[in-house]
């Protein structure tokens, strides 16, 4: 994997508006030269891991790898075989980079620490988001938040990550779908790269990625939870059903739902749901570090908003590495519309 250079099919990389990884990192704000080099090396490793995971996903059905691994993760959720494959792939690459001092993962109870001689960062990842979709060859994703390491001694790596969670430098997701896409956000912009399976590298796609004007009309929410939502959420959903100007799209993989809503305009919601039959997450199902913060950072960089219904996601104090939150994330217009109808404070 060459360092951020476009693949051999780089014809479109010469078009107006394409940035290699190096060019994107060079124009990211608020970083020293040494930090830029470190971030670029981390992004190279994420790209390499995404390429490897994509290749293995394509062979999953032939290798009998679309099902469960037979054990539960720290979240008490059934681990898919590919959760472990993705975990090991990204942990191995990021750990060997010499640029990641601490790695926390949805799939591991405790942080992993690695020796880093120079500028280093902390990474929080969901190595394979939505992996239950694999049984039906549905879309899945990988999600990363990269925090500026405070450089203090790592006597308590979990605390080091929690203390840095408000200092997101970069957020990334990989979408494994009809194409494999790499979406990278710094504070000032979001850029997209597509895997060229022949050249085995990611090539830049032209232009910045932003929510469309008007904010779109797509709403992504699991309506099966309707009876378990609070009155504000039900009021919002009821109001939607009294109009025809919206459409529902929900595939059970945050990365896919978020990505579609980013390009076409819309909002994704996973509110807290009251327990029923022993199930439910009153505080919300999704994880703050591994899902909500990276997606909120990307949404903000693309002109959108993200809240848990009370507080902007990026302002929520991180108190536990597996902390869960409610999540409403999408275009500014659709998130504000939710807040107005549900009686929630605006996350602005």
Least spacing, CB of residue 185 vs ligand P6P, in Å:
18
φ and ψ of 64, to 5 deg: 65, 35
Which residue stretch of 111-119, 174-182, 201-209, 250-258 sits at the interface with ligand P6P (rule: CB under 6 A)?
A: 250-258
- 193 beta partners: 182, 204
Q: Identify which of residues 78 and 200 has a Cβ nearer to ligand P6P in the complex.
A: 78
- What is the number of residues in the chain? 348
Residue 138 engages ligand P6P in binding (rule: CB under 6 A)? no
What is the footprint of ligand P6P within residues 101-130 (CB under 6 A)?
129-130
Residue 254 engages ligand P6P in binding (rule: CB under 6 A)? yes
Token readout for 169 is 């430098």
Which residue stretch of 4-12, 41-49, 240-248, 251-259 sits at the interface with ligand P6P (rule: CB under 6 A)?
A: 251-259
Least spacing, CB of residue 285 vs ligand P6P, in Å:
6
Task: Give the span between the Cα atoms of 232 and 340, in whole angstroms.
Answer: 10
Least spacing, CB of residue 151 vs ligand P6P, in Å:
32
* Cβ-based burial of 289 (10 A; exposed 0-12, middle 13-18, buried ≥19): buried
Residue 253 engages ligand P6P in binding (rule: CB under 6 A)? yes
What is the footprint of ligand P6P within residues 279-318 (CB under 6 A)?
285-286
Which residue stretch of 20-28, 91-99, 249-257, 303-311 sits at the interface with ligand P6P (rule: CB under 6 A)?
A: 249-257
Q: Identify which of residues 43 and 295 has a Cβ nearer to ligand P6P in the complex.
A: 295
Which residue stretch of 15-23, 43-51, 194-202, 252-260 sits at the interface with ligand P6P (rule: CB under 6 A)?
A: 252-260
CB atoms within 10 A of CB 302: 20
For 197-224, b/e burial (b = at least 16 CB within 10 A) is: eeeebbbbbeeebebeeebbbbbbbeee
- 174 beta partners: 142, 182
Contacts of 92 (CB under 8 A, 6+ apart): none
Least spacing, CB of residue 318 vs ligand P6P, in Å:
18
Residue 86 engages ligand P6P in binding (rule: CB under 6 A)? no
What is the footprint of ligand P6P within residues 2-21 (CB under 6 A)?
none
Query: Count of alpha carbons within 13 Å of 23, Cβ hemisphere only?
Result: 13
What is the footprint of ligand P6P within residues 206-245 (CB under 6 A)?
222
Least spacing, CB of residue 279 vs ligand P6P, in Å:
9
Residue 252 engages ligand P6P in binding (rule: CB under 6 A)? yes
Question: Is residue 328 a contact partner of residue 271, using CB atoms and an 8 Å limit?
Answer: yes
Q: Identify which of residues 129 and 337 has a Cβ nearer to ligand P6P in the complex.
A: 129
Count of residues of this chain found to bind ligand P6P when the rule CB under 6 A is applied? 8
Task: Give the span between the Cα atoms of 131 and 93, in whole angstroms.
Answer: 21
CB atoms within 10 A of CB 64: 8
Q: What is residue 203's three-state secondary structure?
A: strand
Task: List contacts with ligand P6P (CB under 6 A).
Answer: 129-130, 222, 252-254, 285-286
């Amino acid at each position: 994997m060459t360092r951020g250079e476009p693949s051999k099919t780089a014809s479109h990389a010469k078009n107006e508006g394409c940035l290699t990884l190096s060019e994107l990192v060079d124009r990211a704000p608020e970083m020293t030269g040494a930090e830029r080099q470190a971030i670029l090396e981390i992004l190279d490793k994420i790209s390499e891991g995404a390429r490897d995971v994509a290749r293995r996903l394509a062979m999953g059905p032939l290798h009998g790898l679309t099902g469960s691994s037979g054990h539960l993760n720290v979240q008490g959720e059934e681990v898919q075989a590919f959760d472990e494959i993705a975990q090991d792939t990204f942990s191995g690459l990021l750990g060997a980079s010499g640029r990641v001092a601490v790695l926390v993962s949805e799939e591991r109870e405790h942080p992993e620490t690695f020796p880093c001689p120079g500028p280093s960062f902390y990474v929080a990842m969901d190595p394979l988001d939505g992996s239950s979709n694999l049984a039906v060859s549905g879309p899945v994703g990988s999600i990363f938040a990269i925090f500026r390491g405070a450089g203090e001694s790592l006597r308590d790596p979990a605390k080091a990550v929690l203390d840095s969670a408000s200092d997101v430098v970069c957020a990334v997701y990989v979408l494994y779908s009809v194409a494999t896409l790499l979406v990278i956000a710094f504070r000032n912009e979001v850029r997209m790269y597509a895997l060229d399976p022949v050249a085995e590298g990611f090539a830049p796609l032209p232009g910045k990625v932003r929510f469309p004007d008007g904010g779109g009309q797509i709403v992504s929410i699991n309506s099966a939870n309707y009876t378990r939502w609070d009155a504000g959420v039900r009021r919002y959903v009821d109001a939607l059903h009294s109009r025809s100007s919206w459409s529902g799209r929900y595939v059970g993989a945050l990365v896919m739902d978020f990505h579609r809503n980013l390009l076409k305009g819309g909002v994704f919601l996973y509110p807290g749901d009251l327990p029923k039959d022993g199930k439910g997450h009153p505080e919300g199902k999704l994880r703050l570090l591994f899902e909500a913060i990276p997606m909120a950072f990307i949404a903000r960089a693309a002109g959108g908003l993200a809240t848990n219904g009370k507080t902007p996601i990026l302002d929520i104090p991180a108190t536990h590495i597996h902390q869960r939150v409610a999540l409403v994330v999408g275009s500014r217009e659709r998130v504000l519309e939710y807040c107005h109808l549900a009686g929630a404070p605006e996350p602005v």
